[in-house]
């Protein structure tokens, strides 16, 4: 069964510091997809990134970067030079699209990130 673990329940950092959110996943499939979503205080979940299991290249988008390592089953998310607007709950999620009849996302429990001005 697929599982996503976000061991950090809450993190607080001072503005402009860098912060890394950890995500560890479990799956028996060789084809899978990993996602990160942001849930700001307004409540709506916003898609940030998707990564498939065959692409281990790290990705950078502005201040955001993602480190995917199959060897450790991790897909960590780093925010560089954090800003107050980054304060949110961040969810990591996993899907196994080849598992027909079970095409769903499995979410981690989320990490609440607070950026202190």
Partner 1 sequence: NAGVTQTPKFRILKIGQSMTLQCTQDMNHNYMYWYRQDPGMGLKLIYYSVGAGITDKGEVPNGYNVSRSTTEDFPLRLELAAPSQTSVYFCASSYSSGVYEQYFGPGTRLTVT
- Residues forming the site for partner 1 (CB under 8 A): 9, 33, 35, 37, 42-47, 50, 52, 91, 95-97, 101, 103-105, 107-110
C-alpha 23/C-alpha 91 separation (Å) is 9
Residue with tokens 């769903």: 104
Which residue, 71 or 107, has its beta carbon nearer to partner 1? 107
68, 94 in Cβ contact below 8 A? Answer: no
CB 47 → partner 1: shortest distance, Å?
4
Which residue, 43 or 62, has its beta carbon nearer to partner 1? 43
Which residue, 13 or 45, has its beta carbon nearer to partner 1? 45
Distance of CA 65 to the CA centre of its chain: 10
CB 32 → partner 1: shortest distance, Å?
8
Which residue, 52 or 81, has its beta carbon nearer to partner 1? 52
CB 95 → partner 1: shortest distance, Å?
3
Long-range contacts of range 5-8, CB-CB < 8 Å, 24 or more positions apart?
5/108, 6/90, 6/91, 6/92, 6/108, 6/109, 6/110, 6/111, 8/111
CB 97 → partner 1: shortest distance, Å?
4
């Amino acid at each position: 069964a697929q599982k996503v673990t976000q061991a950090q329940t809450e993190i607080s950092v001072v503005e402009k510091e860098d912060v890394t959110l950890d995500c560890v996943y479990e799956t028996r499939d060789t084809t899978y997809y990993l996602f990160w979503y942001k849930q700001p205080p307004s409540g709506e979940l916003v898609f940030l990134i998707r990564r498939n299991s065959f692409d281990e290249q790290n990705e950078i988008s502005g201040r955001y970067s993602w480190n995917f390592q199959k060897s450790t089953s991790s897909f960590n998310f780093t925010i560089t030079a954090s800003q107050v607007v980054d304060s949110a709950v961040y969810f990591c999620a996993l899907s196994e699209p080849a598992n027909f009849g079970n095409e769903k996302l499995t979410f981690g429990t989320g990490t609440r990130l607070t950026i202190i001005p």
